[in-house]
C-alpha cells in the first residue's frame, strides 16, 4: 500500500532516496530556469519562466535524458547488453535511448510504428546516426506496437542477448522514468529561491504519464505549495488523471516516500489536445512562433508547443494569478521540428 503521510521530505532526504537507485550519468545538470519577460508581456500574463530540460545535453536534449539515467542504470545493474524500445518514428525517447546506449556501450534495437512523418528526418535520422538497429512497422499504430515488439525481443533473447525493455506500459522502466522527474522536481526546488516569489503553477506535458507523475510526486514529497498542471497531448483528462495518480502511488510504494497522489490531486487539461496525438493545432503553432520570436527558444508541435499553448491560453483567460510566476517545464523534442517543416512553414 502506498505511503499516505503528512510528512514531507527535505531536499537532502529526497536526494538520499534517489541516490539509492541505480543510475548512470548521461546529462548536463542543472538545466537553467530562464525568465521570458517579452513573452509574458505579449500574452498579458504573469511572469513566465521556462525550466530548460531541452538543454539536458544528450542527443540534443530533452526530458528522456533524466529518465534514461535511471532506466539505463537499471539495465547496467542487471547485466543487460541490449536495450529494446519502441514508439512512433519521431519518438524523442527512442532518439535519446539510442544515444544513451551508444554512450554506455549497449546495443539498441528500436521498433517504430508508422506515424505522420516516416521520412528519415528529425529524430528518425538521429536514431540511425547513433547506430541503433531500426525497424519501422508502417502497418502498425502506436497502441498495438508493444505486442509487435514481443516476438522481436524474444528472438534477441534466443540469440543469447540479455534485454532491457523500455516502455511506459511496464512497471520497472516506468518506475525508473519517474525517478528521473523526481530528480527534476528536486533540482527545480533549489532554483525557486531565485524567483521574486513562489510560482503559482508549473505546466508540464502529460503523455504516457511518467514524466508528469514523477514531477508532480516530487513537488508533493517536498511539500511545495505549487499547482502542477499537465497538458494532455494524447488522452482524455479523466483517463490521464487516473494514470498519473496510479503511477505516483506505485512510486510512493516502491521508494517508500510520501508522494502518492489521488486523482483529485492531479490537474490535467485536455483543452489543447486538438484532434489527438501528433495532430497540429493552431494554438500550438502560435505558441511555437511567439516563443521563438520573442525569447529565442524553440518548441515543437507534438509536446511542448501544446504545453505552452495551455500556459498562454490560461494566462489570457485570467486563470492564473497575474502577480505570481508560472513555469513551463520544457521537455525538449526539438529534432521533430525538421520532420514537421511543411506544417511549420504553413503556420509562419
40 labelled catalytic: no
Q: What is the DSSP string of 62-77?
A: BTHHHHHHHHHHHHHH
Q: What's the pLDDT tens digit per position in 316-336?
A: 999 999 999 999 999 999 998
Whether the per-residue pLDDT at 166 is higher than 60: the answer is yes
What distance in Å separates the CA atoms of residue 159 and residue 183, rounded to the nearest whole number?
36
The pTM (predicted TM-score) of the whole model is: 0.95
The pLDDT confidence band at residue 2, using thresholds 50, 70 and 90, is: very low
Do residues 167 and 142 touch, judged by C-beta distance below 8 A?
A: no
Q: How far is CA 17 from CA 14, 172, 186, 208, in A?
A: 5, 17, 11, 24
Q: Quote the DSSP letter at residue 194.
A: G
State residue 125's pLDDT score.
Answer: 96
What whole-number distance in Å separates Cα of residue 301 and Cα of residue 220? Answer: 29
Residue 116: pLDDT over 80: no
Confidence check: pLDDT of 3 > 60: no
Report whether 173 contacts 71 (CB < 8 A). yes
Local structure of residue 192 (DSSP, 8 states): G
Residue pair 245/261 in contact by the 8 Å Cβ criterion: yes
**pLDDT over 60 (residue 164):** yes
| pLDDT at 4 (0 to 100) | 42
The pLDDT of 243-269, averaged and rounded, is 97
Quote the Cα angle for 324-298-244, to 5°: 60
* Separation between Cα atoms, residue 182 and residue 330, nearest integer Å: 15
Per the residue annotation, which of 91, 232, 269, 309 is the catalytic one? 91
For the chain, how far is it from start to end, CA to CA, in angstroms? 51
pLDDT at 5: 45
A 10 A CB-CB count for 270 gives 19
**Mean pLDDT to the nearest integer, 257-268:** 97
Evaluate if residue 141 carries a pLDDT over 90: no
pLDDT-based confidence at 115, cuts 50/70/90? Answer: confident
Q: Answer whether residue 229 shows pLDDT above 90.
A: yes
Question: Closest Cα partner for 284 from 265, 298, 264?
Answer: 298
Residue 314: per-residue pLDDT: 97
Higher pLDDT, 214 or 344: 214
Q: In this structure, are residues 8 and 223 in contact, taking their beta carbons and an 8 Å threshold?
A: yes
Q: Which residue has the cell 489527438?
A: 276
The confidence score (pLDDT) of residue 6 equals 56
Span of 20-24, 121-125, 200-204, 216-220 with lowest mean pLDDT: 121-125
Band of the pLDDT at 248, cuts 50, 70, 90? very high
Amino acid at each position: 500500500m502506498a505511503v499516505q503521510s503528512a510528512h514531507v521530505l527535505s531536499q537532502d532526504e529526497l536526494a538520499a532516496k534517489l541516490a539509492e537507485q541505480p543510475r548512470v550519468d548521461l546529462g548536463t545538470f542543472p538545466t537553467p530556469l530562464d525568465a521570458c519577460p517579452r513573452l509574458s508581456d505579449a500574452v498579458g500574463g504573469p511572469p513566465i519562466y521556462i525550466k530548460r530540460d531541452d538543454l539536458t545535453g544528450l542527443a540534443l536534449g530533452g526530458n528522456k535524458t533524466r529518465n534514461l539515467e535511471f532506466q539505463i542504470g537499471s539495465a547496467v545493474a542487471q547485466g543487460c547488453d541490449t536495450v529494446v524500445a519502441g514508439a512512433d518514428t519521431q519518438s524523442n525517447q527512442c532518439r535519446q535511448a539510442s544515444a544513451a546506449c551508444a554512450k554506455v556501450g549497449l546495443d539498441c534495437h528500436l521498433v517504430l510504428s508508422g506515424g505522420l512523418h516516416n521520412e528519415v528526418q528529425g529524430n528518425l535520422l538521429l536514431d540511425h546516426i547513433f547506430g541503433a538497429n531500426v525497424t519501422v512497422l508502417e502497418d502498425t499504430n502506436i497502441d498495438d506496437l508493444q505486442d509487435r515488439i514481443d516476438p522481436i525481443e524474444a528472438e534477441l533473447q534466443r540469440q543469447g542477448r540479455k534485454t532491457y525493455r523500455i516502455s511506459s506500459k511496464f512497471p520497472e522502466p516506468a518506475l525508473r522514468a519517474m525517478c528521473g522527474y523526481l530528480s527534476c522536481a528536486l533540482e527545480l526546488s533549489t532554483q525557486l529561491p531565485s524567483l521574486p516569489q513562489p510560482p503559482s503553477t508549473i505546466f508540464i506535458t502529460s503523455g504516457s504519464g511518467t514524466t508528469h507523475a514523477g514531477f508532480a510526486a516530487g513537488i508533493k514529497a517536498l511539500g511545495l505549495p505549487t499547482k502542477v498542471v499537465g497538458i494532455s497531448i494524447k488522452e482524455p483528462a479523466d483517463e490521464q488523471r487516473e494514470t498519473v495518480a496510479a503511477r505516483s502511488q506505485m512510486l510512493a510504494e516502491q521508494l517508500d516516500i510520501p508522494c502518492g497522489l489521488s486523482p483529485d490531486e492531479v490537474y490535467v487539461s485536455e483543452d489543447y489536445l486538438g484532434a489527438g496525438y501528433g495532430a497540429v493545432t493552431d494554438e500550438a503553432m502560435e505558441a511555437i512562433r511567439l516563443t521563438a520570436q520573442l525569447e529565442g527558444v524553440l518548441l515543437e508541435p507534438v509536446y511542448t508547443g501544446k504545453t505552452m499553448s495551455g500556459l498562454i491560453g490560461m494566462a489570457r483567460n485570467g486563470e492564473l494569478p497575474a502577480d505570481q510566476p508560472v513555469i513551463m517545464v520544457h521537455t525538449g523534442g526539438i529534432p521533430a521540428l525538421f520532420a514537421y517543416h511543411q506544417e511549420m512553414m504553413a503556420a509562419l
